[in-house]
Structure 1
Amino acid sequence: MSLEDFFSTSVCYGAGAPEAGWTLALPTTLPLSATAIIYAVGALRLWRRSGRGRTLRLRQALLFCAGWMALAVALVSPIHALGERVFAAHMIEHELLMALAAPLLVASAPAAAMMWALPTPLRRAFGQAGHASVVQVVWAAISRPLAATILHGVAIWVWHVPALFEAALNRGFLHYAQHASFLGTGLLFWWALLPRSGREQAHGGAVMHLFFTSLHTGLLGVLLLVSPRPWYAAKAAGASLWGLTPLEDQQLAGLVMWVPTGLIYGGAALLLAGLWIRSSGQTDWEASHAFNAG
Protein backbone atom coordinates (compact mmCIF):
# COMPACT_ATOMS: atom_id res chain seq x y z
CA MET A 1 0.00 0.00 0.00
CA SER A 2 1.39 3.39 -0.99
CA LEU A 3 1.39 6.41 1.29
CA GLU A 4 -1.34 8.00 -0.82
CA ASP A 5 -3.47 4.84 -0.52
CA PHE A 6 -2.94 4.79 3.25
CA PHE A 7 -4.23 8.32 3.66
CA SER A 8 -7.09 7.72 1.26
CA THR A 9 -8.29 4.44 2.74
CA SER A 10 -11.45 4.61 4.78
CA VAL A 11 -14.27 2.28 5.69
CA CYS A 12 -17.81 3.62 5.87
CA TYR A 13 -20.53 2.00 7.93
CA GLY A 14 -24.16 2.94 7.80
CA ALA A 15 -27.38 2.39 6.02
CA GLY A 16 -27.67 3.50 2.43
CA ALA A 17 -25.04 5.21 0.39
CA PRO A 18 -21.47 5.52 1.61
CA GLU A 19 -21.85 9.24 2.02
CA ALA A 20 -24.35 8.59 4.83
CA GLY A 21 -22.04 6.35 6.86
CA TRP A 22 -19.32 6.63 9.46
CA THR A 23 -15.78 7.00 8.14
CA LEU A 24 -13.12 4.88 9.80
CA ALA A 25 -9.64 5.73 8.53
CA LEU A 26 -6.48 4.91 10.47
CA PRO A 27 -4.89 8.38 10.13
CA THR A 28 -7.96 9.71 11.97
CA THR A 29 -9.17 6.95 14.27
CA LEU A 30 -5.72 6.00 15.56
CA PRO A 31 -4.79 9.48 16.91
CA LEU A 32 -8.32 9.97 18.27
CA SER A 33 -8.27 6.65 20.11
CA ALA A 34 -4.72 7.12 21.40
CA THR A 35 -5.50 10.61 22.67
CA ALA A 36 -8.60 9.43 24.52
CA ILE A 37 -6.76 6.50 26.14
CA ILE A 38 -3.73 8.59 27.16
CA TYR A 39 -5.92 11.30 28.67
CA ALA A 40 -8.11 8.79 30.53
CA VAL A 41 -5.11 7.01 32.05
CA GLY A 42 -3.43 10.25 33.09
CA ALA A 43 -6.62 11.80 34.47
CA LEU A 44 -7.29 8.72 36.63
CA ARG A 45 -3.76 8.84 38.00
CA LEU A 46 -4.09 12.51 38.85
CA TRP A 47 -7.50 11.90 40.41
CA ARG A 48 -6.07 9.27 42.74
CA ARG A 49 -3.09 11.40 43.73
CA SER A 50 -4.86 14.72 44.32
CA GLY A 51 -7.12 15.04 47.31
CA ARG A 52 -7.77 18.68 46.48
CA GLY A 53 -8.94 20.22 43.26
CA ARG A 54 -11.15 17.31 42.27
CA THR A 55 -13.95 19.64 41.22
CA LEU A 56 -11.52 21.37 38.87
CA ARG A 57 -10.30 18.02 37.54
CA LEU A 58 -13.88 16.92 36.87
CA ARG A 59 -14.66 20.15 35.02
CA GLN A 60 -11.51 19.77 32.93
CA ALA A 61 -12.39 16.16 32.12
CA LEU A 62 -15.88 17.16 30.98
CA LEU A 63 -14.44 19.90 28.77
CA PHE A 64 -11.95 17.44 27.28
CA CYS A 65 -14.69 14.89 26.59
CA ALA A 66 -16.80 17.58 24.90
CA GLY A 67 -13.85 18.69 22.76
CA TRP A 68 -12.95 15.11 21.87
CA MET A 69 -16.54 14.37 20.90
CA ALA A 70 -16.57 17.45 18.66
CA LEU A 71 -13.45 16.10 16.94
CA ALA A 72 -15.06 12.71 16.48
CA VAL A 73 -18.23 14.24 15.05
CA ALA A 74 -16.17 16.32 12.62
CA LEU A 75 -13.79 13.59 11.47
CA VAL A 76 -15.58 10.25 11.86
CA SER A 77 -19.35 10.84 11.83
CA PRO A 78 -21.44 11.06 8.62
CA ILE A 79 -20.66 14.79 8.54
CA HIS A 80 -17.16 13.94 7.33
CA ALA A 81 -18.35 11.54 4.62
CA LEU A 82 -21.00 13.98 3.45
CA GLY A 83 -18.42 16.77 3.53
CA GLU A 84 -16.51 14.93 0.80
CA ARG A 85 -19.40 15.75 -1.55
CA VAL A 86 -21.30 18.71 -0.10
CA PHE A 87 -19.49 22.01 0.51
CA ALA A 88 -21.81 23.14 3.32
CA ALA A 89 -21.15 19.91 5.24
CA HIS A 90 -17.44 20.36 4.61
CA MET A 91 -17.65 23.85 6.11
CA ILE A 92 -19.51 22.52 9.16
CA GLU A 93 -16.73 19.97 9.63
CA HIS A 94 -14.04 22.68 9.55
CA GLU A 95 -15.89 24.95 11.95
CA LEU A 96 -16.35 22.07 14.39
CA LEU A 97 -12.57 21.66 14.38
CA MET A 98 -11.60 25.33 14.74
CA ALA A 99 -14.43 27.00 16.64
CA LEU A 100 -15.73 24.22 18.89
CA ALA A 101 -13.25 21.38 19.45
CA ALA A 102 -10.17 23.62 19.70
CA PRO A 103 -11.45 26.00 22.43
CA LEU A 104 -12.96 23.14 24.44
CA LEU A 105 -9.72 21.17 24.36
CA VAL A 106 -7.64 24.22 25.29
CA ALA A 107 -10.02 25.10 28.14
CA SER A 108 -9.67 21.54 29.49
CA ALA A 109 -5.90 22.07 30.04
CA PRO A 110 -5.12 18.42 29.20
CA ALA A 111 -1.31 18.62 29.27
CA ALA A 112 -0.87 17.62 32.92
CA ALA A 113 -3.18 14.61 32.67
CA MET A 114 -1.58 13.41 29.44
CA MET A 115 1.92 13.75 30.85
CA TRP A 116 0.94 11.66 33.89
CA ALA A 117 -0.13 8.85 31.58
CA LEU A 118 3.44 8.45 30.32
CA PRO A 119 6.14 6.34 31.98
CA THR A 120 8.44 8.38 34.22
CA PRO A 121 11.50 8.26 31.88
CA LEU A 122 9.41 9.39 28.94
CA ARG A 123 7.77 12.11 31.02
CA ARG A 124 11.21 13.40 32.03
CA ALA A 125 12.39 13.28 28.42
CA PHE A 126 9.43 15.38 27.29
CA GLY A 127 10.06 17.81 30.14
CA GLN A 128 13.70 18.22 29.14
CA ALA A 129 12.75 18.63 25.47
CA GLY A 130 10.22 21.31 26.41
CA HIS A 131 12.91 23.26 28.25
CA ALA A 132 15.34 23.17 25.32
CA SER A 133 16.31 26.69 24.27
CA VAL A 134 15.31 26.22 20.62
CA VAL A 135 11.88 24.89 21.58
CA GLN A 136 11.30 27.73 24.02
CA VAL A 137 12.32 30.38 21.48
CA VAL A 138 10.06 28.94 18.77
CA TRP A 139 7.15 28.49 21.17
CA ALA A 140 7.54 32.02 22.54
CA ALA A 141 7.40 33.37 18.98
CA ILE A 142 4.35 31.46 17.72
CA SER A 143 2.30 31.51 20.93
CA ARG A 144 2.07 35.28 21.18
CA PRO A 145 -1.53 36.39 20.56
CA LEU A 146 -0.66 38.38 17.42
CA ALA A 147 1.39 35.54 15.90
CA ALA A 148 -1.24 32.93 16.76
CA THR A 149 -4.01 35.09 15.27
CA ILE A 150 -2.04 35.61 12.05
CA LEU A 151 -1.16 31.91 11.70
CA HIS A 152 -4.78 30.90 12.27
CA GLY A 153 -6.03 33.46 9.77
CA VAL A 154 -3.48 32.45 7.15
CA ALA A 155 -4.47 28.79 7.49
CA ILE A 156 -8.15 29.66 6.99
CA TRP A 157 -7.63 31.86 3.93
CA VAL A 158 -4.89 29.84 2.22
CA TRP A 159 -6.84 26.58 2.32
CA HIS A 160 -9.85 28.30 0.75
CA VAL A 161 -7.86 29.26 -2.33
CA PRO A 162 -9.68 27.19 -4.99
CA ALA A 163 -6.57 25.39 -6.30
CA LEU A 164 -5.46 24.28 -2.82
CA PHE A 165 -8.97 23.45 -1.68
CA GLU A 166 -9.62 21.16 -4.62
CA ALA A 167 -6.16 19.61 -4.34
CA ALA A 168 -6.95 18.73 -0.72
CA LEU A 169 -10.18 17.03 -1.82
CA ASN A 170 -8.40 14.97 -4.47
CA ARG A 171 -5.37 13.90 -2.43
CA GLY A 172 -5.78 12.19 0.92
CA PHE A 173 -2.49 13.46 2.37
CA LEU A 174 -3.34 17.09 1.61
CA HIS A 175 -6.82 16.63 3.06
CA TYR A 176 -5.36 15.47 6.37
CA ALA A 177 -2.83 18.29 6.24
CA GLN A 178 -5.71 20.73 5.78
CA HIS A 179 -7.53 19.36 8.84
CA ALA A 180 -4.31 19.28 10.87
CA SER A 181 -3.53 22.92 10.05
CA PHE A 182 -7.06 24.04 10.93
CA LEU A 183 -7.01 22.16 14.24
CA GLY A 184 -3.37 22.96 15.05
CA THR A 185 -3.61 26.69 14.44
CA GLY A 186 -7.01 26.69 16.16
CA LEU A 187 -5.51 25.14 19.28
CA LEU A 188 -2.65 27.65 19.18
CA PHE A 189 -5.05 30.55 18.66
CA TRP A 190 -7.32 29.65 21.56
CA TRP A 191 -4.39 28.79 23.83
CA ALA A 192 -2.91 32.25 23.23
CA LEU A 193 -6.20 34.04 23.93
CA LEU A 194 -8.23 32.12 26.49
CA PRO A 195 -7.78 33.36 30.07
CA ARG A 196 -5.70 31.49 32.58
CA SER A 197 -4.08 32.28 35.89
CA GLY A 198 -1.68 35.23 35.73
CA ARG A 199 -2.92 36.53 32.37
CA GLU A 200 -5.78 38.78 33.45
CA GLN A 201 -3.97 41.80 32.01
CA ALA A 202 -4.07 40.24 28.53
CA HIS A 203 -7.88 40.24 28.25
CA GLY A 204 -7.95 43.50 26.28
CA GLY A 205 -5.63 42.21 23.59
CA ALA A 206 -7.50 38.90 23.40
CA VAL A 207 -10.78 40.75 22.82
CA MET A 208 -9.20 42.63 19.90
CA HIS A 209 -7.82 39.45 18.30
CA LEU A 210 -11.13 37.61 18.67
CA PHE A 211 -13.09 40.46 17.09
CA PHE A 212 -10.55 40.67 14.26
CA THR A 213 -10.89 36.93 13.64
CA SER A 214 -14.68 37.15 13.64
CA LEU A 215 -14.43 39.96 11.08
CA HIS A 216 -12.09 38.25 8.62
CA THR A 217 -13.84 34.87 8.83
CA GLY A 218 -17.14 36.69 8.39
CA LEU A 219 -15.71 38.44 5.34
CA LEU A 220 -14.74 35.11 3.79
CA GLY A 221 -18.21 33.79 4.53
CA VAL A 222 -19.83 36.83 2.91
CA LEU A 223 -17.63 36.46 -0.18
CA LEU A 224 -18.78 32.86 -0.53
CA LEU A 225 -22.37 33.95 0.02
CA VAL A 226 -22.51 36.76 -2.55
CA SER A 227 -20.29 35.22 -5.22
CA PRO A 228 -22.23 34.87 -8.51
CA ARG A 229 -20.54 31.55 -9.33
CA PRO A 230 -19.25 28.49 -7.45
CA TRP A 231 -15.61 28.60 -6.40
CA TYR A 232 -14.98 24.87 -6.26
CA ALA A 233 -15.90 22.77 -9.26
CA ALA A 234 -15.09 19.53 -7.42
CA LYS A 235 -17.96 20.21 -5.01
CA ALA A 236 -20.52 21.03 -7.70
CA ALA A 237 -21.61 17.44 -8.36
CA GLY A 238 -22.50 16.64 -4.76
CA ALA A 239 -24.77 19.59 -4.02
CA SER A 240 -27.81 17.65 -5.23
CA LEU A 241 -27.46 15.33 -2.20
CA TRP A 242 -29.02 18.13 -0.16
CA GLY A 243 -31.35 19.18 -2.98
CA LEU A 244 -29.23 22.25 -3.69
CA THR A 245 -27.64 23.76 -6.75
CA PRO A 246 -23.84 24.18 -6.55
CA LEU A 247 -24.24 27.92 -5.98
CA GLU A 248 -26.84 27.38 -3.21
CA ASP A 249 -24.51 24.88 -1.57
CA GLN A 250 -21.72 27.46 -1.57
CA GLN A 251 -24.07 30.14 -0.23
CA LEU A 252 -25.10 27.86 2.64
CA ALA A 253 -21.42 27.18 3.41
CA GLY A 254 -20.73 30.92 3.44
CA LEU A 255 -23.66 31.45 5.78
CA VAL A 256 -22.27 28.80 8.15
CA MET A 257 -18.89 30.53 8.24
CA TRP A 258 -20.40 34.00 8.59
CA VAL A 259 -23.12 33.59 11.24
CA PRO A 260 -22.60 30.62 13.62
CA THR A 261 -18.80 30.86 13.55
CA GLY A 262 -18.90 34.64 13.91
CA LEU A 263 -21.18 34.24 16.92
CA ILE A 264 -18.64 31.91 18.57
CA TYR A 265 -15.68 34.23 18.04
CA GLY A 266 -17.74 37.32 18.85
CA GLY A 267 -19.32 35.67 21.89
CA ALA A 268 -15.90 34.69 23.22
CA ALA A 269 -14.74 38.29 22.69
CA LEU A 270 -17.72 39.64 24.65
CA LEU A 271 -17.11 37.15 27.45
CA LEU A 272 -13.46 38.19 27.72
CA ALA A 273 -14.48 41.84 27.57
CA GLY A 274 -16.71 41.24 30.59
CA LEU A 275 -13.87 39.53 32.44
CA TRP A 276 -11.55 42.39 31.49
CA ILE A 277 -13.96 45.01 32.84
CA ARG A 278 -14.49 43.04 36.04
CA SER A 279 -10.78 42.48 36.64
CA SER A 280 -10.04 46.16 35.90
CA GLY A 281 -12.73 47.24 38.35
CA GLN A 282 -11.38 44.89 41.00
CA THR A 283 -7.84 46.20 40.46
CA ASP A 284 -9.04 49.80 40.77
CA TRP A 285 -10.94 48.97 43.96
CA GLU A 286 -7.90 47.25 45.50
CA ALA A 287 -5.67 50.20 44.58
CA SER A 288 -8.15 52.66 46.04
CA HIS A 289 -8.55 50.59 49.21
CA ALA A 290 -4.77 50.35 49.64
CA PHE A 291 -4.42 54.11 49.13
CA ASN A 292 -7.10 54.91 51.70
CA ALA A 293 -5.65 52.43 54.15
CA GLY A 294 -2.24 54.06 53.74
Structure 2
Amino acid sequence: MQWLSFFVPWEPSAPLVLVIALAGWLFARGARRHCIKAGRHVAFWSGLLLFYVLLHTHLDYYAEHQFFMHRLQHLGLHHLAPLLLMAAFPAEVLRGGLPLRWRRMTRTVGRHPLWKRTTAVTMNPFLVTILFIVAVLFWLVPSVQFVSMLDWRIYHAMNWSVAVTGLMYWALILDHRPSPPARMRPGGRVMSPIVTMVPQILAGAVITFTERDLYPIFDLCGRAFFLTPLFDQSLGGLIMWVPAAGFEALGTLIALRHLMRLSQTPRARQRVSRFRPAGPVAR
Protein backbone atom coordinates (compact mmCIF):
# COMPACT_ATOMS: atom_id res chain seq x y z
CA MET A 1 0.00 0.00 0.00
CA GLN A 2 2.97 2.30 -0.46
CA TRP A 3 1.22 4.01 -3.38
CA LEU A 4 -1.18 5.60 -0.88
CA SER A 5 1.71 7.71 0.39
CA PHE A 6 1.47 9.61 -2.91
CA PHE A 7 -1.74 11.23 -1.63
CA VAL A 8 -0.13 12.43 1.59
CA PRO A 9 0.16 16.24 1.36
CA TRP A 10 3.63 17.36 0.32
CA GLU A 11 3.09 20.89 1.65
CA PRO A 12 -0.14 20.91 3.73
CA SER A 13 -2.35 23.92 2.99
CA ALA A 14 -5.38 24.52 5.20
CA PRO A 15 -6.81 27.29 2.93
CA LEU A 16 -6.66 24.98 -0.10
CA VAL A 17 -8.39 22.14 1.74
CA LEU A 18 -11.02 24.58 3.01
CA VAL A 19 -11.75 25.93 -0.48
CA ILE A 20 -12.04 22.45 -1.99
CA ALA A 21 -14.17 21.14 0.89
CA LEU A 22 -16.47 24.19 0.74
CA ALA A 23 -16.92 23.83 -3.02
CA GLY A 24 -17.74 20.14 -2.64
CA TRP A 25 -20.19 20.78 0.20
CA LEU A 26 -22.02 23.53 -1.71
CA PHE A 27 -22.21 21.44 -4.88
CA ALA A 28 -23.56 18.41 -3.01
CA ARG A 29 -26.26 20.55 -1.36
CA GLY A 30 -27.10 22.38 -4.56
CA ALA A 31 -27.28 19.17 -6.60
CA ARG A 32 -30.09 17.93 -4.34
CA ARG A 33 -32.07 21.07 -5.13
CA HIS A 34 -31.43 21.13 -8.89
CA CYS A 35 -31.47 17.36 -9.64
CA ILE A 36 -28.66 17.56 -12.19
CA LYS A 37 -27.65 14.77 -14.56
CA ALA A 38 -24.98 12.20 -13.75
CA GLY A 39 -22.58 13.60 -16.35
CA ARG A 40 -22.39 16.93 -14.55
CA HIS A 41 -21.69 15.13 -11.28
CA VAL A 42 -18.84 13.20 -12.89
CA ALA A 43 -17.36 16.33 -14.47
CA PHE A 44 -17.47 18.40 -11.29
CA TRP A 45 -16.13 15.81 -8.88
CA SER A 46 -13.42 14.72 -11.32
CA GLY A 47 -12.26 18.32 -11.74
CA LEU A 48 -12.34 19.01 -8.01
CA LEU A 49 -10.42 15.82 -7.20
CA LEU A 50 -7.87 16.67 -9.88
CA PHE A 51 -7.28 20.10 -8.35
CA TYR A 52 -6.61 18.41 -5.00
CA VAL A 53 -4.19 15.88 -6.52
CA LEU A 54 -2.32 18.56 -8.46
CA LEU A 55 -1.92 20.97 -5.56
CA HIS A 56 -1.96 18.94 -2.35
CA THR A 57 -0.24 15.59 -2.92
CA HIS A 58 3.28 14.38 -3.68
CA LEU A 59 2.71 15.27 -7.32
CA ASP A 60 3.60 18.80 -6.23
CA TYR A 61 6.95 17.46 -5.00
CA TYR A 62 7.73 15.95 -8.40
CA ALA A 63 6.63 19.19 -10.10
CA GLU A 64 9.31 20.99 -8.08
CA HIS A 65 12.03 18.53 -9.11
CA GLN A 66 11.30 17.63 -12.72
CA PHE A 67 10.42 19.98 -15.58
CA PHE A 68 8.09 17.60 -17.41
CA MET A 69 6.16 16.94 -14.18
CA HIS A 70 5.93 20.69 -13.69
CA ARG A 71 4.37 20.99 -17.15
CA LEU A 72 1.99 18.11 -16.38
CA GLN A 73 0.89 19.92 -13.23
CA HIS A 74 0.23 23.15 -15.12
CA LEU A 75 -1.52 21.25 -17.91
CA GLY A 76 -3.98 19.99 -15.31
CA LEU A 77 -4.32 23.31 -13.49
CA HIS A 78 -4.74 25.40 -16.64
CA HIS A 79 -6.65 23.04 -18.92
CA LEU A 80 -8.04 19.73 -17.72
CA ALA A 81 -9.27 20.47 -14.18
CA PRO A 82 -10.93 23.83 -15.04
CA LEU A 83 -12.40 22.34 -18.21
CA LEU A 84 -13.99 19.51 -16.23
CA LEU A 85 -15.33 21.85 -13.56
CA MET A 86 -16.81 24.33 -16.02
CA ALA A 87 -18.29 21.53 -18.14
CA ALA A 88 -20.51 20.82 -15.12
CA PHE A 89 -22.00 24.38 -15.29
CA PRO A 90 -21.52 24.63 -11.50
CA ALA A 91 -22.43 28.28 -10.80
CA GLU A 92 -26.16 27.85 -10.19
CA VAL A 93 -25.63 24.55 -8.39
CA LEU A 94 -23.07 26.08 -6.02
CA ARG A 95 -25.38 29.02 -5.39
CA GLY A 96 -28.21 26.58 -4.73
CA GLY A 97 -26.13 25.02 -1.97
CA LEU A 98 -26.04 28.25 0.02
CA PRO A 99 -28.48 28.89 2.88
CA LEU A 100 -31.60 30.82 1.81
CA ARG A 101 -30.43 34.10 3.34
CA TRP A 102 -27.11 33.91 1.51
CA ARG A 103 -28.85 33.06 -1.78
CA ARG A 104 -30.95 36.18 -1.44
CA MET A 105 -27.83 38.18 -0.62
CA THR A 106 -25.98 36.91 -3.70
CA ARG A 107 -29.00 37.77 -5.86
CA THR A 108 -29.04 41.31 -4.46
CA VAL A 109 -25.29 41.73 -4.94
CA GLY A 110 -25.50 40.33 -8.47
CA ARG A 111 -28.03 43.01 -9.42
CA HIS A 112 -26.00 45.89 -7.99
CA PRO A 113 -24.50 48.22 -10.65
CA LEU A 114 -21.07 48.14 -9.00
CA TRP A 115 -20.95 44.35 -9.20
CA LYS A 116 -22.06 44.41 -12.82
CA ARG A 117 -19.37 46.94 -13.73
CA THR A 118 -16.70 44.98 -11.85
CA THR A 119 -17.54 41.67 -13.51
CA ALA A 120 -17.84 43.38 -16.90
CA VAL A 121 -14.17 44.35 -16.54
CA THR A 122 -12.74 41.25 -14.85
CA MET A 123 -14.64 38.81 -17.09
CA ASN A 124 -14.15 40.75 -20.30
CA PRO A 125 -13.52 38.09 -22.98
CA PHE A 126 -10.50 39.87 -24.45
CA LEU A 127 -8.88 40.42 -21.04
CA VAL A 128 -9.54 36.86 -19.87
CA THR A 129 -8.11 35.44 -23.10
CA ILE A 130 -4.93 37.50 -22.75
CA LEU A 131 -4.54 36.49 -19.10
CA PHE A 132 -5.05 32.84 -20.06
CA ILE A 133 -2.15 33.00 -22.51
CA VAL A 134 0.10 35.12 -20.29
CA ALA A 135 -0.39 32.77 -17.33
CA VAL A 136 1.30 30.04 -19.37
CA LEU A 137 4.02 31.97 -21.16
CA PHE A 138 5.12 34.32 -18.38
CA TRP A 139 6.08 31.55 -15.97
CA LEU A 140 8.07 29.81 -18.73
CA VAL A 141 10.57 32.66 -19.00
CA PRO A 142 13.74 30.98 -17.63
CA SER A 143 14.63 33.82 -15.23
CA VAL A 144 11.05 33.94 -13.90
CA GLN A 145 10.93 30.16 -13.58
CA PHE A 146 14.22 30.24 -11.65
CA VAL A 147 12.91 32.70 -9.05
CA SER A 148 9.49 31.06 -8.73
CA MET A 149 11.02 27.69 -7.88
CA LEU A 150 13.16 29.19 -5.09
CA ASP A 151 10.56 31.40 -3.36
CA TRP A 152 7.56 29.46 -2.03
CA ARG A 153 5.35 32.56 -2.11
CA ILE A 154 6.01 33.15 -5.80
CA TYR A 155 5.65 29.42 -6.44
CA HIS A 156 2.16 29.36 -4.92
CA ALA A 157 1.23 32.58 -6.71
CA MET A 158 2.29 30.91 -9.97
CA ASN A 159 0.12 27.84 -9.40
CA TRP A 160 -2.89 29.85 -8.26
CA SER A 161 -2.62 32.28 -11.17
CA VAL A 162 -2.57 29.38 -13.62
CA ALA A 163 -5.59 27.75 -11.95
CA VAL A 164 -7.67 30.93 -11.61
CA THR A 165 -7.10 32.10 -15.19
CA GLY A 166 -7.96 28.59 -16.37
CA LEU A 167 -11.26 28.69 -14.48
CA MET A 168 -12.07 32.16 -15.83
CA TYR A 169 -11.29 31.21 -19.41
CA TRP A 170 -13.14 27.91 -19.52
CA ALA A 171 -16.12 29.48 -17.78
CA LEU A 172 -16.42 31.76 -20.82
CA ILE A 173 -15.74 29.10 -23.45
CA LEU A 174 -18.05 26.40 -22.05
CA ASP A 175 -20.97 28.74 -21.31
CA HIS A 176 -23.95 27.03 -22.94
CA ARG A 177 -26.23 30.09 -22.96
CA PRO A 178 -26.87 32.54 -25.81
CA SER A 179 -25.22 35.97 -25.70
CA PRO A 180 -26.51 37.80 -23.76
CA PRO A 181 -26.56 36.73 -20.93
CA ALA A 182 -23.30 34.92 -21.81
CA ARG A 183 -20.37 37.34 -22.10
CA MET A 184 -18.90 35.78 -25.25
CA ARG A 185 -20.78 35.09 -28.47
CA PRO A 186 -21.16 31.40 -29.41
CA GLY A 187 -18.97 31.84 -32.50
CA GLY A 188 -16.27 33.51 -30.41
CA ARG A 189 -16.28 30.58 -28.00
CA VAL A 190 -15.55 28.24 -30.90
CA MET A 191 -12.71 30.35 -32.32
CA SER A 192 -11.02 31.42 -29.09
CA PRO A 193 -9.36 28.07 -28.21
CA ILE A 194 -8.01 27.87 -31.77
CA VAL A 195 -6.36 31.25 -31.23
CA THR A 196 -5.03 30.54 -27.73
CA MET A 197 -3.50 27.19 -28.67
CA VAL A 198 -1.17 28.76 -31.25
CA PRO A 199 1.26 30.54 -28.86
CA GLN A 200 1.27 27.50 -26.58
CA ILE A 201 2.13 25.19 -29.48
CA LEU A 202 4.91 27.54 -30.60
CA ALA A 203 6.34 27.80 -27.08
CA GLY A 204 6.17 24.03 -26.68
CA ALA A 205 7.95 23.51 -30.00
CA VAL A 206 10.72 25.96 -29.08
CA ILE A 207 11.28 24.26 -25.72
CA THR A 208 11.22 20.80 -27.31
CA PHE A 209 13.84 21.52 -29.95
CA THR A 210 16.14 23.82 -27.97
CA GLU A 211 19.49 22.08 -27.56
CA ARG A 212 20.59 23.78 -24.35
CA ASP A 213 19.21 23.53 -20.83
CA LEU A 214 16.78 26.43 -20.37
CA TYR A 215 15.86 25.54 -16.79
CA PRO A 216 18.96 24.64 -14.73
CA ILE A 217 16.93 25.36 -11.59
CA PHE A 218 15.79 21.71 -11.65
CA ASP A 219 19.41 20.59 -11.35
CA LEU A 220 19.79 22.95 -8.41
CA CYS A 221 16.66 21.57 -6.73
CA GLY A 222 17.68 18.00 -7.55
CA ARG A 223 15.91 15.96 -10.19
CA ALA A 224 13.50 13.27 -9.02
CA PHE A 225 14.13 10.89 -11.93
CA PHE A 226 17.20 9.76 -13.85
CA LEU A 227 16.53 11.85 -16.93
CA THR A 228 19.00 14.08 -18.69
CA PRO A 229 18.13 17.80 -18.54
CA LEU A 230 17.54 18.01 -22.31
CA PHE A 231 15.31 14.93 -22.38
CA ASP A 232 13.33 16.25 -19.41
CA GLN A 233 13.01 19.60 -21.17
CA SER A 234 11.89 17.99 -24.44
CA LEU A 235 9.21 15.99 -22.63
CA GLY A 236 7.93 19.17 -21.00
CA GLY A 237 7.82 20.94 -24.35
CA LEU A 238 5.90 18.06 -25.92
CA ILE A 239 3.36 18.19 -23.09
CA MET A 240 2.78 21.87 -23.87
CA TRP A 241 2.69 21.15 -27.57
CA VAL A 242 0.44 18.10 -27.95
CA PRO A 243 -1.81 17.39 -24.93
CA ALA A 244 -2.46 21.08 -24.24
CA ALA A 245 -3.50 21.61 -27.86
CA GLY A 246 -5.69 18.52 -27.56
CA PHE A 247 -7.59 19.96 -24.60
CA GLU A 248 -8.00 23.25 -26.48
CA ALA A 249 -9.44 21.28 -29.40
CA LEU A 250 -11.80 19.50 -27.01
CA GLY A 251 -12.98 22.87 -25.71
CA THR A 252 -13.58 23.98 -29.30
CA LEU A 253 -15.70 20.90 -29.99
CA ILE A 254 -17.81 21.46 -26.87
CA ALA A 255 -18.30 25.12 -27.80
CA LEU A 256 -19.19 24.07 -31.36
CA ARG A 257 -21.80 21.69 -30.00
CA HIS A 258 -23.35 24.54 -28.00
CA LEU A 259 -23.26 26.77 -31.10
CA MET A 260 -25.12 24.16 -33.17
CA ARG A 261 -27.69 23.67 -30.43
CA LEU A 262 -28.29 27.41 -30.08
CA SER A 263 -28.53 27.90 -33.86
CA GLN A 264 -31.17 25.18 -34.11
CA THR A 265 -33.33 26.45 -31.25
CA PRO A 266 -35.10 29.29 -33.16
CA ARG A 267 -35.76 26.98 -36.11
CA ALA A 268 -37.24 24.38 -33.83
CA ARG A 269 -39.53 26.99 -32.33
CA GLN A 270 -40.61 28.10 -35.80
CA ARG A 271 -41.41 24.52 -36.79
CA VAL A 272 -43.49 24.06 -33.64
CA SER A 273 -45.40 27.31 -34.17
CA ARG A 274 -45.97 26.43 -37.84
CA PHE A 275 -47.86 23.27 -36.94
CA ARG A 276 -49.58 24.66 -33.85
CA PRO A 277 -53.35 25.29 -34.28
CA ALA A 278 -54.11 28.98 -34.71
CA GLY A 279 -57.07 28.83 -32.33
CA PRO A 280 -60.81 28.26 -32.51
CA VAL A 281 -62.42 29.15 -35.84
CA ALA A 282 -65.21 31.70 -35.62
CA ARG A 283 -68.55 30.57 -36.94
| TM band (smaller chain) | 0.7 to 0.9
Higher relative contact order (CA 8 A, sep 6+): 2
CA 1:225–1:81: 2 relative to 1, 3 Å: same
CA positional deviation for 1:237 = 4.4
2-structure distance, mates of 1:261, 1:222: 12
Aligned pairs, how many? 271
Residue of structure 2 equivalent to 1:68: 48
In the alignment, which residue of structure 2 is the partner of 1:9?
Answer: none
Change (3 A) 1:62 1:164: same
Q: Where does residue 25 of structure 2 map in the other structure?
A: 37
Seen in structure 2, the aligned counterparts of structure 1 residues 165 and 57 have a Cα distance that, compared at 3 Å, is same
Alpha-carbon contact 1:146-1:209 (below 8 Å) kept: no
Alpha-carbon contact 2:178-2:262 (below 8 Å) kept: no
Letter in 1 for 2:204: G
Q: Which runs of 5+ in 2 are unaligned?
A: 275-283
Residues 282, 135 of structure 1: CA spacing in aligned structure 2 closer, same or farther, 3 A cutoff? closer
User: The residue matched to 1:241 in structure 2 has which SS?
Assistant: coil
CA contact (8 A) 2:190 2:252 kept: yes
Report which stretch shifted further, 258-267 or 119-128.
Answer: 119-128
Matching residue within 181, 187, 192 for 2:172: 192
Q: TM-score, normalised by structure 2?
A: 0.82
Tell me the TM-score normalized by structure 1.
0.79
- Equivalent residue, structure 1, for 2:281: none
Query: 5+ unaligned residues in a row in structure 1: which ranges?
Result: 1-13
Does the Cα contact within 8 Å between 2:193 and 2:248 map onto a contact in 1? yes
Structure 1 equivalent of residue 277 of structure 2? none
Structure 2 CA distance, aligned partners of 1:280 and 1:33?
Answer: 38
2:218 alignment counterpart? 235
Tell me the SS of whatever aligns to 1:252: helix
Report the identity percentage. 25
Distance 1:27 1:246, change over 3 A: farther
- Cα 1:32–1:146 change in 2 (3 A) is same
Match among 145, 170, 195 for residue 125 of structure 2: 145
Change (3 A) 1:126 1:281: closer
1:249 aligns with 2:232: yes
Is 1:125 aligned to 2:97, yes or no? no
Q: Which residue of 2 aligns with 1:106?
A: 86
1:219-251 superposed Cα distances (whole Å, 9 cap, x missing partner): 111121122222222112467432211121111
Instruction: Supply the AA of the counterpart residue of 1:38.
Output: L
Alignment CA distance shift 1:30-1:273 (3 Å): closer
CA RMSD of the aligned region, Å? 3.2
Instruction: Write the deviation string for residues 63-83 of structure 1: whole angstroms up to 9, x where unpaired.
Output: 210111111221123321111
